[in-house]
Structure 1
Amino acid sequence: MSPLVSIVIPVYKVEKFIVRCLQSVVNQSYTNIECILVNDVTPDSSMEVAQDFIAKNPDFDFKIINQPFNQGLSMARNAGMDLAKGKYIYFLDSDDEITDYAIDHLVKLAEETNAEMVLGQSVCINEEENWKRNYFPITSEKDVIEGSKNIVWSFVKGKYPVMACDKLVRMDFLMEHKLYFVKDLFSQDVLWSFQSMLKFEKIAFLREDTYLYYFHGASIIHNRGEKHFGNWITIAEFMNRVYLEEKNPYNKKLILENLIDFKASTLGMNWKAQQNEELWKRSYKAYNQLSGLSFANYLSSAYTTKLKKQDLFYRLPLSIGYKFFRWRFDR
């Protein structure tokens, strides 16, 4: 018998999009699915719309969790994980869609490879500006990656996207390693993917579009504020702890590379989103306290010139670092 797949959909302020999302689940060619909707105390009519849709599809296995109060995306996903009965779990955002054969083909690949996680390609769609792009491509040269060292390398080099959606993951793997999402964290996908990557022994990629990711004004990715910047500091501090505790020299080097690159990219996103000098300086000061390259690392050819420049930037005094950043950003 085909293994059960649990699709978890957090619901919050998506009354315009929820039917489109649920219809894509009902349209799946794969039939052994339970769909868990987690109502995060949405203030709009999202749940009424969803319940009307469910009533029109009585043969499909829908389950509803009503959170006692609004707890955010991380806790909504965790609630879905706790209820899920499937061999595999799949996270789907309620304003997105999946293609008709997504689950079918992902399960087939997972069963064939015995991978802990399989991932398909995602298509990003902006309906307001009328474009489609692959913002989060799989760039790995290999379809199957085995061994912790190879998976860590692939993650750090950006060979697959960090978002939690569009990943079919074995439930026993998540439960064994207690890979829940961190409460009150806005950039939860980054940390969850980082934590998962450290535990994976085998992952596989499906070279076809399985996920339709919609950009719009209400998307979390478009609404970064002060809490997001604080969350990035939290994530960087976690990466720093992992780096300090890591015993394997190869993985330790890669984790440090990932930390330095994360600091650089989030400082750029910080300024681009808010252009707030105080927030930027707060992040810079926090990042300055974290691990970086040693003098020996600077002399070594094991680290790229780009990475050395990124790391050196955090050695600058705050006022000089800010002026240098603004010069680079504004030119």
Structure 2
Amino acid sequence: MGNENMENPKVSIIMATYNRAQFIVESLISIQNQTFSDWECIIIDDGGTDNTIEVINPILEKDSRFNYFKRNENYLKGLPGCRNYGLDLAKGDYMIFFDDDDIPHPQNLELCVDELSKKEIYFCRYIRNVFFGNFHYDFDYSKNYTSFFIDKKDIEKMIKNELPFNSCAVMWKKECFQKNRFIETLMYAEEWELYPRIVSSGFNGISIDKCLFYGRKHENSNTGEFYSNNPIRQESYIQAILAVIKNLIEKKLLTKSIIRYFIYISTNFRNFNLFEKIIDLLEFSKYENFKLMCFYLSIRFKKPFYKVKKQLLKKLN
């Protein structure tokens, strides 16, 4: 059902969908309401079983900028595979990922395109807020905002989520994905692994201080399942961590601070042997490994006391 005759658009919106018939129409209408109109929206169905195609058919028939595809067998099932398929189909100069149940600000595309076209930068990051239940359409149309640049020096902040990169809160130039794609076996933290990899490849960007996207919160989201100790999501996070470390070693960007951060994280995943896997990757000397083991054991020793202290402070307050 793809439209093969559409001229090359400026922006390619890639939307993976799976059983979101109750929300996707509202998301597509919010795309139609963009102040910037030179776009295509590539919808990739990941094998859903609800009536998504029936509810979006009226939009597909009336607006040729929307194109619907079913993920084919060359891409693994899941969000990363669908997005990689979308990237291969995309014709635009700029790429952006939207979810099938969220609401982009009407100026989303306009402001990002403006930023990317006037500076030697490769991506535009912006603020994403969340909402529960019905969305309230009360947008701020101001174009006055602050901004700052992002490059390799910010990778540590990205990894530690001090500078969070939500998958739907960045517009990219297509060059960023020529050699960088989502790891399709990851079922969690796929963008957390990919986006620092792109920045580590030398692609600089800008972050603007304006909310341009609104994410609908669900209990059955990937993030919700991860914090509910879903083993598939947790194993994916482990693999994402190891992929991040491998990339930083390759790019010679792995710092002591980042190593200690991952060692700290590894104490929460003892059943996955994450500490041992990190040590194997680092290929340090026996002495360096011994120091990391001491650091690891000291964290494990202190954590129960921190937990008790936190509970006591909570009671006192």
Task: Normalising by structure 2, report the TM-score.
Answer: 0.77
SS in 1 for 2:113: helix
How many matched pairs?
287
Alignment of structure 1 residues 33-182 onto 2, 5 Å: 33-55=39-61, 58-68=62-72, 71-127=77-133, 143-146=148-151, 148=152, 150-156=153-159, 158-175=161-178, 177-182=179-184
Comparing 199-208 with 23-32, greater Cα deviation is found at 199-208
Distance, in Å, in 1 between the alignment partners of 2:260 and 2:203 is 21
TM-fit CA distance, 1:297: 12
Q: Does the alignment pair 1:287 with 2:275?
A: yes
Q: In structure 2, do the counterparts of structure 1 residues 174 and 257 end up closer, same or farther at CA, with 3 Å as the change threshold?
A: farther
Q: Does the alignment pair 1:10 with 2:16?
A: yes
Q: In structure 2, do the counterparts of structure 1 residues 209 and 115 end up closer, same or farther at CA, with 3 Å as the change threshold?
A: same
Distance, in Å, in 2 between the alignment partners of 1:257 and 1:111 is 39
Q: In structure 2, do the counterparts of structure 1 residues 246 and 184 end up closer, same or farther at CA, with 3 Å as the change threshold?
A: closer
Q: Does the CA-based 8 Å contact 1:6-1:84 persist in structure 2?
A: yes
Q: In structure 2, do the counterparts of structure 1 residues 263 and 51 end up closer, same or farther at CA, with 3 Å as the change threshold?
A: farther
Q: Does the CA-based 8 Å contact 2:186-2:240 persist in structure 1?
A: no
SS in 1 for 2:237: helix
SS in 2 for 1:223: helix
Alignment of structure 1 residues 150-299 onto 2, 5 Å: 150-156=153-159, 158-175=161-178, 177-224=179-226, 225-247=230-252, 251-253=254-256, 255-260=258-263, 262-263=265-266, 267=268, 280-283=269-272, 285-291=273-279
TM-fit CA distance, 1:166: 1.7
SS in 1 for 2:128: strand
Note the residue ranges of structure 1 that are not aligned, 5 or more in a row. Answer: 132-140, 268-279, 300-307
Task: Normalising by structure 1, report the TM-score.
Answer: 0.74
Comparing 207-216 with 180-189, greater Cα deviation is found at 180-189
Q: Does the CA-based 8 Å contact 1:156-1:258 persist in structure 2?
A: no
Q: In structure 2, do the counterparts of structure 1 residues 142 and 33 end up closer, same or farther at CA, with 3 Å as the change threshold?
A: closer
Distance, in Å, in 2 between the alignment partners of 1:229 and 1:157 is 17
Comparing 65-74 with 100-109, greater Cα deviation is found at 65-74
Q: Does the CA-based 8 Å contact 1:151-1:200 persist in structure 2?
A: no
What is the identity percentage for the equivalent residue pairs of Structure 1 and Structure 2? 19
TM-fit CA distance, 1:111: 1.0
Residues 56-114 of structure 1: per-residue CA shift (max 9 Å, x gap): xx244111111246711110001100000100000001011101010000110111122
Output the amino acid matched with 2:246: R
TM-fit CA distance, 1:188: 1.1
Output the amino acid matched with 1:237: L
